[in-house]
Structure 1
Amino acid sequence: MSKHLMVFYGFIRQQPGNEEAQLTPLLRLGAGACAGIIAMSATYPMDMVRGRLTVQTEKSPHQYRGILHALSTVFREEGPRALYKGWLPSVIGVIPYVGLNFAVYESLKDWLIKSKPFGLAEDSELSVATRLACGAAAGTVGQTVAYPLDVIRRRMQMVGWKDAASVVTGDRKSKIPLEYTGMIDAFRKTVRHEGFGALYKGLVPNSVKVVPSIAIAFVTYEIVKDILGVEMRISDG
């Protein structure tokens, strides 16, 4: 979801007309969520086949030779709707993910600027290192809360892939059927067969990748904004 985060961030900063125009936090969240959902939907088939290519091994039921081969194979053997398996939990996950990221990031910044603990803020400005820390904290919270939806999305993407259960569960002898009637069914079966902890499988390695990228994306965007002289903040209004 991290690529949609900056779509959200850029969108909500493009306030119309003059500098006096302001959007309420709720409208910003709604507008940004819509922007993120549109961006995610447009690229979702690529994300779906990326998920399959990522877990593919020499013993996988299908051997995809690349992105185009994977797209054409899924389309031909499973139908066009298969390219959007797991789309619903992704859509639902956009709102808490981006909402928490921005809420935590901006709240931390505001608190540090106002309270100036440990001399971290000077003249209402934060250092790059401090901004990175705020971004990392925001990414950690957002990623942790939204992660179960990401797990379910990945599992739903594998439905229809013969013998994929052993790949998804990490157990080559797994006999658990990887068939879901929908998002709720996927949640229910995952918890019933593997326990609640299965909803957080892979959280740590995923966070190692996602959290720094979110922190860097926030800081880079703000630096570029400062260079261009754009004086807009998500927390205005």
Structure 2
Amino acid sequence: MIQTEGFFSLYKGLVPSIASMAPSGAVFYGVYDILKSAYLHSPDGRKRIHKMSQQGQGWSALDQLELGPMRTLLYGAISGACAEAATYPFEVVRRQLQLQVQETRMSALATGIKIVEHGGVPALYAGLIPSLLQVLPSAAISYFVYEFMKIVLKVE
């Protein structure tokens, strides 16, 4: 690639990748926090917190998860799915930029416009379902490990 297209060809698609980082994190952490807060302020969540405080140290680390193991995994998966759906168009543009040859190379914005012109807005989400199949378990496990390690390491 360096010989035919130059050194900077190694960085095709960098702009959309960087542009998707902040919104991805914001959605990922924001959605999880909203779901967790909503549950903890619900009658069921308040009951769980009250029950945990009554029983003190008798619970295992798994039982001490504020949301419980299944809800932690579920909310992690939902937040990962939301983040992936919100930022997936950036990934589609990035992939298209990486496939371009130097002679017909376009900017990230022009590439995005071309994708929408040829396939409509749904074209920006082509391949989202297989991507979600990868993201959902990863996001769920990430939050589960995060919350679990907070308990094990006694971090508030």
Equivalent-residue separation in structure 2 for 1:120 and 1:182 (angstroms): 51
| Cα distance in structure 1, aligned partners of 2:150 and 2:40 | 19
The letter for the 1-side match of 2:114 is K
**Stretches of structure 2 lacking an aligned partner (at least 5 in a row):** 51-65
How many Å separate the matches in 1 of 2:131 and 2:12? Answer: 21
Superposition deviation, residue 94 in structure 1: 0.8
C-alpha displacement of 1:214: 1.0
Q: Equivalent residue for 2:23? A: 96
Relative to 1, partners in 2 of residues 1:184 and 1:122: Cα closer, same or farther, differing over 3 Å?
A: same
1:18-65 CA distance string (max 9 Å, x none): xxxxxxxxxxxxxxxxxxxxxxxxxxxxxxxxxxxxxxxxxxxxxxxx
Q: Report the counterpart of residue 55 of structure 2 in structure 1.
A: none
The percent identity for this pair of structures is 34
Which ranges of structure 1 fall in alignment gaps of 5 or more residues? 1-73, 162-177, 232-237
What is the deviation of 1:225?
Answer: 2.5
User: In the alignment, does 2:48 pair up with 1:122?
Assistant: yes
| Structure-1 residue corresponding to 2:33 | 106
Distance 2:43 2:2 in 1: 55
Corresponding residue number in structure 2 for 1:20: none
Q: After superposition, what is the alpha-carbon deviation per residue over 1:57-107, rounded to whole angstroms, capped at 9, x for unaligned?
A: xxxxxxxxxxxxxxxxx2332222111111111111111111011000011
Structure showing greater relative contact order (alpha-carbon pairs closer than 8 Å, 6 or more residues apart): 2
| 8 A contact 2:97–2:106 mirrored in 1 | no
Paired residues for 1:40-119 under 5 Å:
74-117=1-44
CA distance in 1, matches of 2:46, 2:100: 49
Q: Tell me, yes or no, if the aligned pair for 1:97 and 1:142 is still in contact at 8 Å.
A: yes
* Structure 2 partner of 1:153: 94
Deviation for aligned residue 1:121: 6.2
Shift of the 207–179 alpha-carbon distance from structure 1 to 2, 3 Å rule, reads: farther
Output the CA distance in 1 between the equivalents of 2:92 and 2:4.
24
Return the TM-score normalized by structure 2: 0.82
Give the TM-score normalised by structure 1.
Answer: 0.55
List 4+ stretches of structure 1 deviating above 3 A. Answer: none
Give the aligned CA root-mean-square deviation in angstroms. 2.0
Q: Write 1 or 2 for the structure with the bigger share of helix.
A: 2
